[in-house]
Amino acid sequence: MRLKRGNSFLILNKNTMASDKNKTTFQTVNPATGEDIKTYTLMTEKQADKVVKQCHEAFLDWRLVSLKDRAKIIKAIGKQLTKNKQKLAELMTEEMGKLVSHGLQEIELCAAICDYTAKEGVTALKDEIRELEDGNKGILTYAPIGVVYGIQPWNFPAYQVVRYSIANLMAGNGVLLKHAQNVTGSALLLQKLYEAAGLPKHLFGVLVIDHDASDKIIEHSLVRGVTLTGSSEAGKKVAKKAGAVLKKTVLELGSNDAYLVLADADVAKAAKTCVQGRIYNNGETCVAAKRFVVVKKVYDDFKKAFVQGMEGIKHGDPTDKSSKMGPMARKDLRDKLHKQVQKSVKNGAKVLVGGTVPKDKGYYYPATVLENVKPGQPAYDEELFGPVASLIMAKDDEDAIRIANDSRFGLGGGIFSKDEKAAIKLASTYFDTGMVNINTYALAQPNMPFGGVKDSGYGREHGGFGIKEFVNAKTIIVKK
């Protein structure tokens, strides 16, 4: 039986589109060269409305598909991603500048998410039977809610999409994507790959729209939930807009993750790991290691090794296998980062390496280390979304965790210590973030929850959590 419902009806980060409100086209730009890639046309309000309605219509059928049959298609999407990983990785590099090798790693993670979700989703979403005190039977069923709207950033063009879409498709929902404009090609390629894997047409819809149109999508009566990955400021705007129409939201926002190097740490290992944690994906990662809080006892040794490591990170053509770091994704992002560095220096920070805009063609920024970083400086208070590291001295271990938590953000962080038991205790009891790495730097794991607290947002993805963020946990009571 197919029930009908009545019909009705950001770019959150400034990108390549001109500010002219009447402009209906925009260009994607190769950040390594500054040259245009392709011109796209923004959808009209009528076209966007059609995509929403088509997604809803597809959902009405998809919700009736069994968990096992959904899982088969989810697994097939993972295979399509793997089959086309070189093509997708190269496109991501062209559009936002990540190293091709990092793009290939991103696709491998996406495929792993598909496999995990296909396997675990069948069990996680299965009905539960509960005996009630009065002798009646309780049934808990996880019903899909409808169309979920995702607003996603450019830094992981494939992963950001897969992270929310695969979980929601497995749950039986329809999915809409408003991707960052500078990775529009990646968004459209993902749509093709999903459908090539057997996903019903229109169930995954891409919206090529601007700020105003995005706000209307949030308000659309057929949209039941909104998920955003972006800045804290963008999160506040989306949460307010969605809250006004009583739409549930999941927000994965920015951070300035602190990595603690304690007195008993293996300093050489810590320095090497922290360099990678800072410059991976050109330093444009929400869970990148950003503030390096080092206790006084080992500060000088860490500083020497860390600066030497950052000096060895030479930027270059992201398609060249010898390059260790590519360009930043857009010129405006590089300009913002440099202004944050300059303001930090003006307020007392000291540049140990980097800190100048290269004259090379493209939007490159060097691996940079700032010392004497204190409250009141962007390097301490804000998120520096690029390859700039903030080096901070702590008196001791207790002072280090104080500094780590002295932030409005709370996404991730790290601890380097030879005392694993003590580090785990510190992470679980005192570290006020959603995730903590111990003696390592790691990105997302398919079987572990991902998300933050404070200004880093709320809600969880992965690990069996994301699959239930946008479902109706429905209670059914049967009299015996």
Query: Can you list the positions of beta strands (E) in 133-287?
Result: 137-144, 147-152, 174-179, 204-206, 223-229, 248-252, 258-261
What are the Cα distances from residue 412, in Å, to 74, 250, 405?
29, 17, 11
Q: Residue 40, Cα to own-chain centre: how many angstroms?
A: 24
- Please state, in angstroms and rounded to a whole number, the distance separating the CA atoms of residues 267 and 270: 5
- Please state, in angstroms and rounded to a whole number, the distance separating the CA atoms of residues 96 and 282: 10
Question: Residues 6 or more apart from 306 whose CB is under 8 A from it?
Answer: 271, 274, 275, 292, 369, 389, 391
CB distance 163 to 461 below 8 Å: yes
Report which DSSP code applies to 368.
Answer: E
Which amino acid type is present at position 442?
Answer: A
Rg (CA), the chain: 23
Among the options 57, 94, 252, 383, which is catalytic?
A: 252
Coil, helix or strand at residue 6:
coil
Query: Can you list the positions of beta strands (E) in 253-304?
Result: 258-261, 291-295
Catalytic status, residue 55: no
Report which DSSP code applies to 182.
Answer: G
Catalytic status, residue 286: yes
CB distance 168 to 148 below 8 Å: yes
Token pair listed for 378: 């962007």
- Pick from 221, 145, 148, 198: nearest CA to 178: 148
Crossing angle of the two packed helices 100-124 and 67-83, in degrees rounded to 10 = 170
- Please state, in angstroms and rounded to a whole number, the distance separating the CA atoms of residues 360 and 316: 9
- Pick from 414, 422, 421: nearest CA to 439: 414
Coil, helix or strand at residue 237:
helix
- Please state, in angstroms and rounded to a whole number, the distance separating the CA atoms of residues 175 and 171: 11
Among the options 286, 371, 382, 469, which is catalytic?
A: 286
Residue holding tokens 């785990």?
A: 424
Helix runs in 125-199, H state only = 159-170, 184-196
CB distance 81 to 114 below 8 Å: yes
- Any idea how long the chain is? 480
Active site residues: 252, 286
